[in-house]
Every structure is written in C-alpha cells, then in structure tokens.
Amino acid sequence: MRLSELKEHLKNITDLDIFLPNGDQVPSHYHLTEVGQISKDYIDCGGTVSNETKVVFQLWYANDYDHRLTAEKVLKIISIAEEKLGLQDGEIEVEYQSETIGKYGIEINNNVMQLTTKQTNCLAPDKCNIPGFKKKINLSELVVQGNDCVPGKGCC
C-alpha cells in the first residue's frame, strides 16, 4: 500500500485496529514511534544495481494501556513527516516488535488494517541456476544457423 492510499483511508475512519498476518491484533495501546523514509541502494547476485525508497512506520507498545491513536492523529504525524522530512508518496513498510523487529506490508481489508508478510527472493534467478527457473527469451532474438530449422527436422 502506498502512503497516499493510507491517507485516503484514514480520512474515512476513526478507529485504528491493526492485525498481524496470523490474525492476532496489535495491542490497541500501540504507539507510532517513528515515521520515516528509507532509501536502499543495492546490487543483486546477478550484478544489477538497483535502488528503492520506502515509507517506514514503526509500531511499539508499552504498559500505558489507556493510550490510543486516532486516524486524525496519525494523519497529523504523517503531515509533520511530509513537511519536516520531505516524505514522499511510496510503498509503506511497517516495523513491529515480535521475537525480533519484523517488517510487514499493509493492506486494508473490510476497513481493517492488516499487516502482511514479506518474503525474500533471488533477484537474478536466471543467473543463479535456480532449479525450475526458465529464462525468458524473445523469439526474435533466437539465432538460426543456416538451414538447421526446416520442416521435418523436429526443431519447430
């Protein structure tokens, strides 16, 4: 979900119930301890250089059980981050403490905010000899040697 989509959603709700991928609810007294923007420059295992920028929300909770965030308050926090940090519209990543800091995506389902799992993956499977991976090729790039491919030769 992009920041602009979340902002639109927050304009139409008051309660901010958030659920983990396993169905557990993030305790309702959570804090939004951080709103930021992270840029990542990297090279994958195939040698391709890339970069990405994400909007990051960090959720945390303590023993202040009466604490509650409203959608209006979160919109104000986002507005301050946009003003002070130059926060851009981008994909949101949510950090939440479990056994370690977990990174999640976020979706809205039936007006409920749902954290979604994220997975790692090989970014260059065509160069890493991943079993079962078929390299994509354009037929126009195939080179035919002489008259090797003629009807009846079984090459077509």
Least confident of 41-45, 83-87, 131-135: 131-135
Average pLDDT, the chain: 88
pLDDT at 20: 95
CA atoms within 13 Å, Cβ hemisphere of 4: 3
Q: Are strands 101-109 and 92-97 parallel, antiparallel or unpaired?
A: antiparallel
**Is the confidence at residue 26, as pLDDT, over 80?**
yes
Cα separation, 111 vs 131, whole angstroms: 41
Answer yes or no: are the C-beta atoms of 111 and 13 closer than 8 Å.
Answer: yes
Whole-structure pTM over 0.85, yes or no? no
